[in-house]
Structures are given as structure tokens and as C-alpha cells.
Amino acid sequence: MNIEEINMYMDDYRASLDKAYDHLLEDMATIRAGRANPKLVEKILVDYYGVPTPINQMATISVPEARMLLVSLWDNSMLKAVTKAINEANIGVTPSDDGRVIRLVFPQLTEERRKEFAKEIAKMTEACKVVCRNARRDVLDEFKKMKKDNELTEDELAKLEKDVQKVLDDITAKIDKSSEQKQKEIMTT
């Protein structure tokens, strides 16, 4: 049994699960829960002199009130382009500008909209779990190949399968907990 190779596969497996979980958290942060959140607009791309640029690299995004975002551009000549990009991003808010800054006022969430967000979170959660299960399959395939090449015994393979499953169970519990918290936040705020 090659311990270093097995540890490398397990480390890669854990890293891919953590990456999927982090991606889920980023995606969930873009879903608003009745409050303004800069993450909703900071990754929207704007054509900045021919280069697609995220808004957070060309402006300061602040939250002056609980349901308002203020986008202060460093180059006011890009005001119309940024306003257009926010409109096209379809985040459920119409931007208004006064020639200097862009204001995004978020309306109170309706019950119907809250349910839509909850369904969206459920889809994101399931997609994350699928990525995690695929990572488990890939690492188990590597271990089975090692067994076939007589690098592992049947008992070692069984132990590794249990270890891989435990890692998956742990990350799945974290995913479910985060998803439940976000859904609860959306349904109550």
C-alpha cells in the first residue's frame, strides 16, 4: 500500500469538496434576504473600455440603509454603462442614478418571491451535493484501480471506502445546515 499516494488522493478529494461547498456559499450569498448585500452586484460585468470588468473593481459599493445599495463609480463617464449592466443582470431591482452615484432600493420580499428563492437555494444545494458525490465516485475509482493493480488489499479498500464516505457525510451535513439557515433567513426577514 502506497500511503503517500492514498493521502494525496484523499487530500485532493477533501479539497474538491471544500471548493464545492465554498462555491455554494458564494452562490447563496448572492440571494438577497430582504436586505441589501453588495455581493448582489459586485460580480456584474461592465464593458470598461473594451474589457469586461466586475463592478467592484470600478466602484465603491456601500450599504447606507438596510434595503439600499449605493454604487459610487470612480469614473463617472461609465455611469450609463454600469446602470445598463445592472438592469441586464436582472437582480430584481431597477437602478436609479443622479449623475454621480447609482442607487439600488430593494423592495420588501413577497411571500411568493421568498418561496422562489427557497426553491433556488434547494437547487443550488442539490447541485453541490451532486458535485460532491461525483468527487467521491472519482476517488473511489482510483482506489479500485489500485486494488485491481494489487496495490491495495480488500480490507484496505473497504476501510478507504468508509473513510471516503465519512468525509462525504460530514460535508453533506455542512451543506444541509447552511442551506437550512439561508432558507430560514429568507423566509423570516
Instruction: Tell me the domain boundaries of the chain.
Output: 3-30+110-188, 38-105
Q: Determine the topology of domain 3-30+110-188 in CATH.
A: Topoisomerase I; Chain A, domain 4 (1.10.132)
pLDDT at position 94 is 81
Report the pLDDT value the prediction gives residue 73, as an integer from 0 to 100: 86
Quote the pLDDT of residue 34: 63
Element (H or E) spanning 97, and its range? strand 96-97
pLDDT tens column, 99-127: 888 888 877 777 887 888 888 899 999 99
Find the Cα–Cα–Cα–Cα dihedral 70, 71, 75, 77, rounded to 10°.
-90
Nearest-10 Cα torsion for 186, 87, 95, 108: -20
Decide if 3-30+110-188 and 38-105 have a common fold. no
CA atoms within 13 A on the CB side of 150: 0
- Rounded to the nearest 10 degrees, how much is the dihedral formed by the CA atoms of 20, 23, 24, 27? -160
Q: Give the gyration radius of the chain's Cα atoms.
A: 22
pLDDT at 99: 81
- What pLDDT digit, counting tens, does each position of 16-29 carry? 999 999 999 888 87
Domain 38-105 has CATH 3.40.800.10: no
Is residue 43 within 8 Å of residue 56, measured between CB atoms? Answer: yes
List own/partner pairs for 42-46 with CB under 8 A and 24 or more apart: 44/85, 44/86, 44/89, 44/91, 45/85, 46/78, 46/81, 46/82, 46/85
Query: Are residues 59 and 73 in contact, defined by beta-carbon separation less than 8 angstroms?
Result: yes
Instruction: Mark the ranges of the chain whose per-residue pLDDT is less than 70.
Output: 1, 32-35, 189
